[in-house]
Each structure stands twice: as C-alpha cells, then as structure tokens.
C-alpha cells in the first residue's frame, strides 16, 4: 500500500479544526519530533552552513512552522554559537502564530500560503521540516523552485521516508503514548504521503534543480542546497 505516495487527507490540514484541537496536536507533534530526533538534521545543516561559509549572521525562513518549535531550537542554536539570527515563521493555519507566540517563539510570523509571498522576499536560508509531504507532486515541484529562487545561501528540506517499518512504528508509538486522536490519524497518513528516494529524484528533475539527497536516521530524507 506504500508503493506510491498517498493522497489521503490529514485532519490537521482541515481549516475547520478548532484552536484547542490544533494546540493539543502541536504539543504532541513537538514531543514526537523530539523523541524521533527530528530537529537534529536541520541543526546539523545550519552547523554546516556556518562551517563552510563562515557567516556570523543569517536570515532564516521556516516554512510550515507549526507551533514554532523548530524556530525556538534554532534560536538557542544561534545563541550558543554566537550567530545573529533574523527568524521568520510561515504557516497557513490561523492558530499557529498564537501557539508559537505563547510558547515564546522569536521573530517575524507570516500567516498565509508560502506561494503568495512577494517575489522580492529573500532569505539567506529557507528550511522546512515535515511540510513537503502535505504537498501533491505538482505543488512540490513548484515549492522546490520557489525556495531555490528565494534562498540566497541555501535551503534544507527534511521529511518522512515512506516505509512500512516507519508506518508500523508510528502506528504503535502514538497509541501506547495515548496521543491526541488527530495525531493518531495523521501520523500514519503522513508516512503514507512521504517519500522514497526516487520521488525526490523525480521532483528535483522536474524542478530543474541539482541538490543533495540523504537518508537520515530514523526514516527521514533530507534534501539540501548550499551555495
């Protein structure tokens, strides 16, 4: 059933969801990201940016920023390394910014569709984690072209590897830990909407982009460009 990307919908993408339901799901997802080492690939990429370019300041856009948990970790990363950061989060949900601000997320926030950002908006680095699986294939190609155009120093995408072991492991984990019903549903749908290496190769070829593609433990793909 995981031979091709699923087109099943995730509950979190339903605009009719209440703020309370969205907030609970975001808290559960932050815990899941932490215990599955989901922040590590992005922070390692930023370490690489600094090591290879020598920059001491960065403007960063996080697309699909959710509750701002990645931005908070990036902020702490910058403080530890003495990197001056200008942070921006972008998320379509009307509840995301409120949750992010309540949790102390720094920086600018954009509530809206990343495809509608003004063409003149540029950032040193554009990041996204667990966002691209929400996009159908044509929109994924458009998104890759957008971030390649708008990121002056590079970009980094981290998302799920579509694999039966990842699907089964998440199915079990979200139940033994009594996760929110939205997360129990969306977790395995997210894996089914995820990617194998050939999916990324096809999307990059269609977008006309050369990028690095790497498998990351556990069951993640990272796709990156560093200029």
According to the model, what pLDDT value does residue 20 have?
87
**86 touches 118 (CB < 8 A):** no
At residue 198, the pLDDT reads 98
pLDDT attached to residue 136 = 97
User: How many beta carbons lie within 10 A of that of residue 47, not counting itself?
Assistant: 12
User: The sheet that has 151-160: what strands, in order across it?
Assistant: 108-111, 84-91, 57-63, 123-129, 151-160, 220-226, 212-216
Structure-token match 């971030």, residue found: 147
Q: Six-digit token pair at 49?
A: 């940016």
Per-residue pLDDT tens over the stretch 184-215: 999 999 999 999 999 999 999 999 999 999 99
Q: What is the pLDDT of residue 108?
A: 97
Distance CA 14, CA 111 (A): 15
Residue ranges in the chain modelled with pLDDT below 70: none
Assigned token pair, 169: 């492991």
Cα gap 138→119, rounded to integer Å: 20
Helix 164-176 and helix 19-35: axis angle, to 10°?
120
Please report the pLDDT score of residue 1 as a whole number.
Answer: 78
pLDDT confidence of residue 19: 87
Q: What is the CATH number of domain 37-162+195-226?
A: 3.40.50.150
**Residue 49: C-alpha distances to residues 58, 214, 215, 217, 221 (Å):** 10, 16, 19, 21, 18
Question: Do residues 59 and 74 lie in contact, with contact meaning Cβ atoms separated by under 8 Å?
Answer: no
pTM (2 decimals)?
A: 0.95
Do 194 and 187 meet the contact criterion of CB atoms below 8 Å apart? no
Greatest alpha-carbon pair distance for the chain in Å reads 47
Q: What is the CB neighbour count within 10 angstroms for residue 207?
A: 18
Q: What is the pLDDT of residue 220?
A: 97
For residue 22, the model assigns a pLDDT of: 84
pLDDT at 17: 81
Query: Among residues 121, 108, 133, which one has the least CA distance to residue 38?
Result: 133
């Amino acid at each position: 059933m995981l031979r091709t990307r699923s087109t099943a919908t995730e509950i979190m993408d339903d605009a009719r969801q209440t703020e309370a339901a969205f907030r609970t799901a975001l808290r559960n997802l932050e815990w899941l990201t932490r215990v599955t080492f989901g922040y590590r690939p992005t922070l390692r990429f930023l370490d690489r940016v600094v090591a290879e370019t020598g920059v001491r300041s960065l403007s960063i856009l996080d697309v699909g920023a959710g509750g701002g948990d990645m931005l908070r970790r990036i902020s702490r990363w910058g403080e530890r390394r003495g990197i001056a950061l200008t942070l921006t989060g972008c998320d379509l949900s009307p509840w995301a910014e409120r949750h992010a601000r309540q949790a102390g997320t720094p920086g600018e926030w954009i509530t809206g569709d990343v495809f509608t950002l003004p063409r003149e908006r540029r950032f040193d680095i554009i990041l996204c984690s667990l966002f691209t699986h929400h996009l159908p294939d044509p929109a994924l190609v458009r998104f890759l072209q957008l971030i390649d155009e708008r990121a002056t120093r590079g970009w980094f995408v981290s998302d799920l590897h579509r694999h039966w072991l990842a699907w089964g492991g998440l199915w079990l984990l979200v139940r033994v830990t009594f996760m929110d019903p939205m997360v129990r549903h969306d977790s395995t749908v997210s894996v089914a909407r995820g990617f194998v290496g050939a999916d990324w190769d096809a999307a990059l070829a269609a977008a006309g982009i050369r990028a690095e593609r790497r498998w990351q433990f556990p069951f993640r793909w990272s796709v990156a460009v560093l200029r």
